[in-house]
A and B are shown apart, each in its own frame.
Chain A
Amino acid sequence: MRFFAPIVGFLSLASTLLPTVLADSKVSKFTSLTAGSKLKGIVRLTDALYTEFTSAPRNYSAVVLLTALDQRFSCALCQEFQPEYELLAKSWVAKHKSSDGLFFGELDFADAKATFQKLQLTTAPILYLFPPSTGDNVDVAHIETPYQFDFTQYGVPAEAVAHFISQHTSHTPPVVRPFDYVKFGTMAGGVLVAIAVLSIAFSIIKPIIYSRNLWAAISLIAVLLFTSGHMFNHIRHVPYVVNDGRGGVSYVAPGFSNQFGLETQIVAVLYALLAFATISLAMKAPRIEDPTGQKAAILIWNAVLLVGFSFLMSLFKQKNGGYPFFLPPLF
């Protein structure tokens, strides 16, 4: 017994110290890995490193991005997020040379298929945040199960991720977007060139700018676009046409408050046609000096108006089943 006492003592001491020692050694390891990494501020992980990086005794916060950058996977979001993530990590190590308890790791599917299988992940990218498992205020619920960043809700900006990290840990990572001199230069140059070109060519451009026809065209197109529901398409991202399930294509969306892209274009063209027929009847026809020609023009435009409006009403009837009115010739 007497022999064992110190051993037991040592063991008990070790059991308290060991995690700390272990964790400390991990800190130094990942600090050096971070410093030596090709991607500034990000540890490139493998299967083994991932386990070590995220496993239990941690006295640091670990952010891990599981991604699939290889072109074969055509993961657009991964490509989109990558520069943002790099920016975030870079901004952090620029301020905190020795990482100071927050590490950024990245695991590519190409390097670590096993981890993806183990975690049963089928989508990428996924961003995990492991808060510290030792220390003062341990987040017990999240020692094993990390926080997950919601890409669908917050999108990809580095600021959103930084906010996410600051919500769950004591760190508030800054995001320092480097000033893009090239972009600024091209912008400034472009503006200067544009001004120069404008001032030189002003005499040529002036009649165009003051051209009533041009402005009329722009205004009419704008009005037609807006009144045919273009903003709805823009906001709701509706499909252009939809497969109707029988091998054909359906142009007209069922339902009163839904529409397809092509459908709105048909409607816009229809409105334009009707408006043009009206304009022709009101302004062009009475200026035709030849009586027969005038008669023919009036007849034609009148017919166009009738058929167009009739088609419009039948189209509307398709959208709103209970609509009782119609115009000949279409029912």
Chain B
Amino acid sequence: MPPKKNVSTPSSTSAAPSAAVATPISTPQTSHNVPSSNPISILEGIFKNYSQSTPQRTKLIDAFLGFLVITGVLQFVYCVVAGNYPFNAFLAGFSATVGQFVLTASLRIQSNPANKSEFASVSPERAFADFVFCSIILHLFCTNFIN
């Protein structure tokens, strides 16, 4: 089932590139200069810069990344606190989280228009297809590993 759900999403992404390309080009590197060295203002600047220059779709990916980080941390804390008794299970869960994180991060990098020159042969659609392919393999391995 999950693959199907994944497949359904690209249809919406297919419309994305035009928008994705359009928005960031106006704001790629012309970001705010942060004259003050005050850490709080730096962070503020980062946040502002981010929320302005990042396309909506990328923000969605970022939210997912954030979720995965939290899940990973929770899993790790659980392992430390409650013990790692079915080690297989813990490992499978944790590596699923980590694996999904790096795959999603890869997707984010690949679909970032600023990196277009790096990924000449990888269009955003192709990147998403890769992402789905890798995720399926990842979860297949994990389910097999959980026992």
Q: Do chains A and B touch in the complex (CB under 8 A)?
A: no
Interface set of A (CB-CB < 8 Å, partner B): none
